[in-house]
Structure 1
Amino acid sequence: MVSYFFCKDIIKMNKKILITVIHDFFIFCFSFFIALLLRLESDYAIFLMESLWVFSILFAIINIVILNYYGLYHGIWRYASMHEIISIFKSIFISTLFIIALLFLIFRLQDIPRSFPILLFIVSLFGVTGPRVFYRVLKDKLIKKKSKIPVLVVGDNDTSENFIRLTKIEKNSPYNVVGIVGTKKSGIGRRIHNVPIVSSIDDLDSLQNKIKNLELQRIIISDNTIDSNLVESLYIFSKKNGLAIGIIPKLSNFSLDPEAQFTANPIAIEDVLGRKQKVHDTPSLSQIKNKIILITGAGGSIGGELARQISSLDPKLIILLESNEYALYKISSQVKGPFICKLADIRDTVRMEEIIKNHKPDIIFHAAALKHITFVEDEPIEALKTNFLATVKICELCNLYKVPKLIFISTDKAVYPTNIMGASKRLCEKYIQQISSSNCNTNFSIVRFGNVLGSTGSVIPLFESQIKKGGPITITHPKVTRFFMTIREAVELVLISSQLTAEKNGGIFILEMGESVSIKELAKRMITLSGKTEAEIKIEVTGLRKGEKIAEKLNFTNEEMNKTEVEGILFTKNKLYNVDFSDYRKLVSLIMKNNMIEAMKKFREILPEFKTNEENKN
């Protein structure tokens, strides 16, 4: 009856399980012979096996039946744990006792060494568990070789243990745990799944020195019982060190299913940056305190983050200027402290003059612009009106009403521009640099950005949306690269540039951003972060859009980049391709007359560095 059910189970087995059963069968058979060989001379051991070979087969069959009963053949070798080893231990122990008892009844153990049962048990145990352990270690090492995000886990509880274990065995895990922050100092030096506890949560100062060697990108909180004040300290610590921070769901909600989406919540946008964020001390920006601040484009990604950060710096008043009613309403609910909202269009010079004249801002952050390349290429005159003409008028109003400072937000697309958006920003850079060199009442600064992660229209929200829909992710060209920065980095760059000395009037500030990032690799990284594979989420190439570059640059070849007193921020004051002011006035006149054909001719004339992709090919 037992053999009937055993054979029935064998028939139902898939190929992998059948290979495992065959492997174990031969191991148990050979273990019988090896146990004899270890105790007896080879000739005598072979002689005994000629009469005992049936018992070796019986020993193997009994073990396989017991192991199958324990469910060992329905598990996965990669997930082999202590439970499987205990099952093997029990099986070999029972089968060894059975065989020895049978041999005693039949042969009275004649000619069989007394140490044979012990040797049989040991050889069988190592023979069966060894390959399983080796397979798991090998798979762990192969998985670790893949590019993963180095993380620090906070907590030494069951959730941490489960999370660390899954990162080691789950192929879709995007994380590599390099250290643990425990809840008690007494735990420092101990290990969970060979990951060291490097510090305790109440001693973050000592952790500061240790993280330099860990090359961290993220902190993950696994202990949901941690006091809220400590969580706040961890948040501050992570931001201070340019690290993303996330939290693992409660153990009851944490899936151990290998097929489930594997991630901590939420996926931080900083994870796709591929480098540590630049960290600057914005609380020390004392020049913002008690000042009246005007932010144009306050409802946008950059303008909104500017408003939020400035509100924590104790300004006298923040003027939120935005042409989109809903965007203005949204940012107004997020800003603390004294502020007023102005629903206004920067192209309305009369309205802008009224606001600047009546409120007398100390600093203007000019973030408003048309920035979506595709739309701007179709409506170039609108870009000139918003990006260039409005900027010219605001600069004139600043000089007229003696506004102390204006910070203009530019883009890396202004460097060797190939599209209208980048070209219009480049023209603004040139204009501001020229007026700043004259007797001007305003100190002007230009901040040149790379692509801002998570901003409106960036690839990150697009990729996230495409992944949620199951793909495909669309990229325009497999070789496209971009410089990326987080919104926080971008805004800190703007704020710091507003504080630097008057000698830098008219200069361009740029953040050191290391190497540019491959958009294709970014897409792959986001797929991994989502817990999916490239087999599940395909990547499709759609072709370059009009005006789009393969690669961006942060500065012109002839621009001399100098370090500032703030680490990580570069500065240039080189004035390339100077333009006569009469040409600016002619262009302004043509734009105001809505003469698009002549305006575009003049625009191209005074901006020789602007060349389309087609022109660059010739």
Structure 2
Amino acid sequence: MLAWLLALPRSAKRIISVAIDTFFLIFSVLFAFILTQDGDTLQLQKILLAFVVTLPITILVFTRLGLYRAVIRYVGQHALGAVLFGIVFSAVLLAGLFALLGVHNRTSLVVVYGLVALVTSGGIRLGARMLFQPNNNSHKTRVLIYGAGSSGRQLAQALLNGEQYQPVMFVDDDTTLQRSTILGIPVSSPDGIANLVKQKNIGRLLLAMPSASRSRRREVLDRLGDLPIPVLSIPGMSDLVDGSMRIDELQDVKIEDLLGRDPVAPVKKLLHANIKGKVVMVTGAGGSIGSELCRQIIRGEPVTLVLFELSEYALYAIERELKLIIEADGLEVKIVPVMGSVQKQARLETVMRTFAVQTVYHAAAYKHVPLVEYNVVEGVYNNVFGTWFTAEAAIKAGVETFVLISTDKAVRPTNVMGASKRLAELVLQGLAQHQSKTRFCMVRFGNVLGSSGSVVPLFREQIRKGGPITITHKDIIRYFMTIPEAAQLVVQAGAMGKGGDVFVLDMGEPVRIADLAVRMLHLMGLEVRDEQHPSGDIEILYTGLRPGEKLYEELLVGNNVRQTDHPRIMAADEVSLSWQEMLHLLSRLDKACSAFAVEDIIALMRAAPTEFNYTSATSDLVVTAACSLELKQQIQSVSDISLKGFASGKIAQADKQIA
């Protein structure tokens, strides 16, 4: 029977609803007559005459109020409000007609009619909702909602109408809400949350605090860290407002909430100084940092943004994304996608001259520590000479500002990647002293969340696969920052440079990687498996430090640091070389790279003022494989052959074979 009713077309359901309302309204007026009148036939005739006029008007009012558009299974406050308003209107109209017709005891008659009609018409709808939507939630996961504010209430309402989660309890810090009931769900204090999880058999905890600051969210997450259930979060307020996500689209807790660092509002003057109305170029535009720089830059209203990228797919992806943003936000920015390598100065100079580039953000680099250790020559060529060639091209093309994206690994480096980035800094410091056409500066910061090579997505993937989580050392610590914040600070720091400046971003407190992994596990409702907890879910394996990796990173070489116009940007005064000294070093480094002399490359980087503490054995894969003197000599001879001679030899050999 229920299935048959549910399968009826919408028009048939509306006719049934009108018929039921008509029946109960007639019942209500007859019941009121029997209860309040003495059975006078003449009075009954007057009452029925008045009711015949009132009934179609009441049904029409119900219709205009949308009562027959409401789905009975999901009837809510709006539908019940429509019933109340319609019955009150009907009773008032009926009272007026009774007065005109001279009906006796009309006040008690109208009151009884209104009450009976309200109980029957409203009650039948609530009863139908209970009938069509039985309260059988045994298949749903029982959840506790942290936050009984407007977002928490909206979430609870959405979940009650859904098929996955059953909200059974709110907790909120607001003492005025505690011991109350919202949507039939009790509200309690967060102090007893651990007991509530056990008593109520809670399977998930949902964080409904989209507008709370990160520091506040971190306080809450610290309180929830030891609970044996997963913690999920509703989308942020910006996602809810722009409609990109619904309130019931639950997601894993963001790692930036664990860090608890609130972003600082940008200084608009600094944000627009090198961008607004200018032609801007980003090298490595398709990378994690480069692509976020591009997103920030187009909102700064440049005339043109030149995307310089070696990877074809990365260039395609970022160009497509930026054009969608420009179209959606109504921006007027010309996007120029250019393929090329930063190791080709002529290509760089041509691009910069052609498009009259005024600001360059140099984000192109090899930054994965172990991979650069395995490929020393390419790492040095790309990071050191690529920066030099890009900088020289900028000078010749008349670029006004050049900003290098550096790294905390450049400070007292223990790996080739860090040392190569410190040499890149020295190149720009030397050029800043040597000329005044282009203003050079560099911005140094630590790890960014979500970048390629970041531990956070790696840990998530390992946890979802059931482990183990791999960490190089139990005591290793790192600084973390979100990519958008890092990119925004880079743009602002670049506007403060006077020439050769080294800017250091305030990265907040360092994070112990092992602690980060444990907290991620706990928030997913899992436990670490170790000697103390042999029945835990996922094991953490310590694999040992990788080549060139150190336990902690630093941001400053010395103590000569000063504050700037931005609270999270510092300027460092550090040792540098004159341009003549730097040229001599680059010449020797070029020869060592051309000869694949990795040991000489390491020695030259150590000799420079980099404080390079290279304790690892040479781990370049090619050099390691070239274990015999004969093979090394073959490599040396190949490096001396020019590309033209090599090609000519191959062509001659092919002609000989054909003949």
Q: TM above 0.5, one fold?
A: yes
> Which position in structure 1 is the counterpart of 2:611?
609
SS in 2 for 1:342: strand
In the alignment, is the contact (CA less than 8 A) between 1:347 and 1:389 conserved in 2?
Answer: yes
Q: Provide, for residues 1-40 of structure 1, a one-character-per-residue CA deviation record: whole Å limited to 9, x for no partner.
A: xxxxxxxxxxxxxxxxxxxxxxxxxxxxxxxxxxxxxxxx
- Residue 221 of structure 1 deviates from its aligned partner by 7.8
1:582, CA displacement in angstroms?
A: 4.0
* Match status 1:537 vs 2:569: no
Match of 1:462 among 444, 455, 458: 458
Please state if 1:512 is matched with 2:513.
no
- Aligned mates of 1:567, 1:416 — CA distance in 2: 25
What letter corresponds to residue 192 of structure 1 in structure 2?
V
Match of 2:251 in 1: 265
- Give the direction of change, closer, same or farther, for the CA distance of 1:470–1:152 in structure 2 (3 Å limit): farther
Q: Distance in 1 between matches of 2:490 and 2:148?
A: 31
How far has the Cα of 1:613 moved from its partner?
A: 3.5
Return the alpha-carbon distance in structure 1 between the equivalents of residues 604 and 594 of structure 2: 13
Q: Deviations over 1:101-152 (max 9, x none)?
A: xxxxxxxxxxxxxxxxxxxxxxxxxxxxxxxxxxxxxxxxxxx9xxxx9989
Match of 1:445 among 441, 446, 454: 441
Structure 2 residue 459 is the aligned partner of structure 1 residue 472: no
For residue 584 of structure 2, what is the aligned residue in structure 1?
Answer: 583
Which residue of 2 is the match for residue 260 of structure 1?
none
Q: Does 1:285 align with 2:271?
A: yes
1:554-596 deviation line (CA, Å, top 9, x unaligned): 112x241111111121111332577823423423541573443
1:520 to partner: Cα distance: 0.2
| Contact 1:217–1:276 under 8 Å retained in 2 | no
SS in 1 for 2:306: strand
Name the counterpart of 2:359.
363
Q: Which residue of 1 aligns with 2:37?
A: none
Contact in 1 for aligned 2:365/2:383 (Cα 8 Å): yes
Matched, 1:498 2:494: yes
Residue in 2 aligned with 1:574? Answer: 574
For 2:248, the equivalent position in structure 1 comes to 249
- Further displaced range: 364-373 or 533-542: 533-542
Cα separation, 2, equivalents of 1:581 and 1:247: 56
| 1:37-436 alignment runs, 5 A limit | 154-157=150-153, 159-160=155-156, 178=173, 192-194=187-189, 214=216, 231-232=241-242, 249=248, 264-281=250-267, 285-287=271-273, 288-335=275-322, 336=326, 337-436=333-432
User: How far off is 1:373 after superposition?
Assistant: 1.1
User: Identity, % of aligned pairs?
Assistant: 33
Within 1, Cα distance between the matches of 2:259 and 2:428? Answer: 31
Is contact 1:151-1:218 (8 Å) kept? no
Alpha-carbon contact 1:563-1:569 (below 8 Å) kept: yes
Q: Which amino acid is 1:324 matched to?
A: S
Q: Distance in 1 between matches of 2:214 and 2:462?
A: 35
Aligned length: 417
Structure 1 pair 477/460, CA: closer, same or farther in 2 (3 Å)? same
In structure 2, how many angstroms separate the alpha carbons of the residues matched to 1:406 and 1:601?
29
The RMSD of aligned alpha carbons is: 4.0
Whether the 8 Å contact between 2:377 and 2:593 is mirrored in structure 1 is: no
SS of 1:155's equivalent in the other structure is: helix
Gaps of 5+ in 2: 1-143, 160-164, 192-209, 222-231, 327-332, 529-535, 618-659
Q: Say if 1:436 and 1:443, in contact at 8 Å, map to a contact too.
A: yes
Please tell me whether the aligned partners of residues 155 and 221 of structure 1 are also in contact (alpha carbons under 8 angstroms).
no
Distance 1:582 1:490 in 2: 32
Contact 2:217 2:260 (C-alpha < 8 Å) held by counterparts:
no
CA contact (8 A) 1:311 1:318 kept: yes
Judged with a 3 Å threshold, the aligned counterparts in structure 2 of structure 1 residues 284 and 353 are, in CA distance, closer, same or farther, namely closer
- Contact between 2:263 and 2:485, CA under 8 Å: does it hold in 1? yes
- What is the match of residue 564 of structure 2? 564
Shift of 1:425: 0.3
Letter in 1 for 2:514: K
The residue type paired with residue 249 of structure 1 is D
What secondary structure does 1:298 align onto?
Answer: coil
Residues 560 and 167 (structure 1 numbering): CA distance in 2 closer, same or farther, change over 3 Å?
farther
Q: How big is the shift at 1:603?
A: 2.9
Counterpart of 2:107 in structure 1 is none
Does the C-alpha gap of structure 1 residues 373 and 471 become closer, same or farther in structure 2, counting only changes over 3 Å?
Answer: same
CA distance in 1, matches of 2:545, 2:300: 42
Deviation at 1:513, TM superposition (A): 2.1
SS in 2 for 1:604: helix
Cα distance in 1 for partners of 2:445, 2:296 equals 18
Deviation at 1:285, TM superposition (A): 2.3
| CA contact 2:309–2:339 (8 Å) conserved in 1 | yes
Alpha-carbon spacing, 1:323–1:521, altered in 2? closer, same or farther (3 Å): same
Counterpart residue type for residue 353 of structure 1? E
**Amino acid of the structure 1 residue aligned with 2:420:** S
Provide the secondary structure at the position in 2 that maps to 1:294: strand
Residues 576, 329 of structure 1: CA spacing in aligned structure 2 closer, same or farther, 3 A cutoff?
A: same
Matches of 2:387 and 2:235 in 1, distance apart?
51
Evaluate the alpha carbon distance shift between residue 354 and residue 176 of structure 1 in structure 2; reply closer, same or farther with a 3 A threshold.
Answer: farther
* CA positional deviation for 1:509: 1.3
Once the two structures are superposed, residues 322-354 of structure 1 have per-residue CA deviations (whole angstroms, 9 ceiling, x without a partner) of: 111111111111113310101111112221121
The residue identity in structure 1 corresponding to 2:295 is R
Q: Aligned pair in 2 of structure 1 residues 213, 473: CA closer, same or farther (>3 Å)?
A: closer
Distance (Å, rounded) in 2 between the aligned partners of 1:270 and 1:599: 39
Whether the aligned pair in 2 keeps the contact of 1:389 and 1:588 (CA below 8 Å) is no
Mark the CA change 1:448 to 1:158 in structure 2 (over 3 Å): closer, same or farther. Answer: closer
Shift of residue 180 of structure 1? 11
Matches of 1:180 and 1:317, distance apart in 2: 54
Residues 160 and 507 (structure 1), Cα distance of their counterparts in 2 relative to 1, 3 Å cut:
farther
Cα 1:601/1:213, change in 2 over 3 Å: closer
- Mapped partners of 1:523, 1:313: distance in 2: 37
Larger Rg: 2
Amino acid paired to 2:305: I
Deviation of 1:314 (Å): 1.2
**Contact between 2:428 and 2:500, CA under 8 Å: does it hold in 1?**
yes
Q: Could you tell which deviates more after superposition, 580-589 or 519-528? A: 580-589
Between 447-456 and 536-545, report the one with greater CA deviation.
536-545
* Separation in 2, partners of 1:425, 1:398: 19
Secondary structure of 2:292's match?
A: helix
TM-score, structure 2 normalization = 0.57
The alpha-carbon distance between structure 1 residues 152 and 362, as it changes in their structure 2 partners (threshold 3 A), is: farther
Distance 1:523 1:543 in 2: 16
Contact preservation (8 Å) 2:561, 2:572: yes
Distance 1:378 1:560 in 2: 34
Stretches of structure 1 that go unaligned for 5 or more consecutive residues are 1-143, 197-206, 236-245, 251-263
